[in-house]
Amino acid sequence: MDFKTEFKPITVQPQLIEGKSFEMITEELGDHPFTEEQYPVVQRIIHASADFELGRSILFHPDSIRAGVSAIKKGRNVICDVQMVQVGITKQRIEKHGGSINVYISDPDVMEEAKQLDTTRAIISMRKAIKENEGGIYAIGNAPTALLELIRLVKEGIAKPDLIIGLPVGFVSAAESKEELAKLDVPFITNVGRKGGSTITVAALNALSLIAEQV
């Protein structure tokens, strides 16, 4: 079989591919409940996942976009639950305003404390993060326990994040952690159900940093 004559891509230019993809997403998604400022985040989440069910399940606190863009432009740090989220973020758009992208889950002190307390590194990493960062955007795409701990710290008045992007994936506590996040009176972006993940969280954060470039 001659694969060279079997398939011809519409285009090999990345910008044109992305533009065509966004057109297809808008057409296929159809009517939706998202505001004009929220839609670019949903669009990039669908673009990253090719999952319209996931896209339709996204929930926004009314102040989430404004809070996220403001935090980026003020140079607030981004705190990730795992390295996979950290490496996917377009760091130049964060660092140009003075912010950094931090993850603590593999720090030796976090690992040691988690072992001593017989708990998860994700939980201890959130406790360390709030001590080392004023406000900030928390991007959680992998560990429901990190999100649940952050929610506890917010409820106790210890943590005061500018925005929580809580999109962990999984079967144990993932959906439940997002349900709890949606009850907070703190800016958040989350979704309903088990779906989510690091790439989805990255897509949401990168969408916000693009919006920050435009305003």
What is the spatial distance between Cα 45 and Cα 51, in angstroms, rounded to a whole number?
8
What is the spatial distance between Cα 120 and Cα 111, in angstroms, rounded to a whole number?
9
- Nearest Cα to 142, choosing from 96, 164, 174? 174
Active-site hit among 32, 47, 61, 97:
47
Asked if 97 is an active-site residue, the reply is: no
For residues 77-112, b (16+ Cβ closer than 10 Å) or e, as one string?
bbbbbbebbbebbeeebbeeeebebbbbbeeeebee
Residues taking part in catalysis:
47
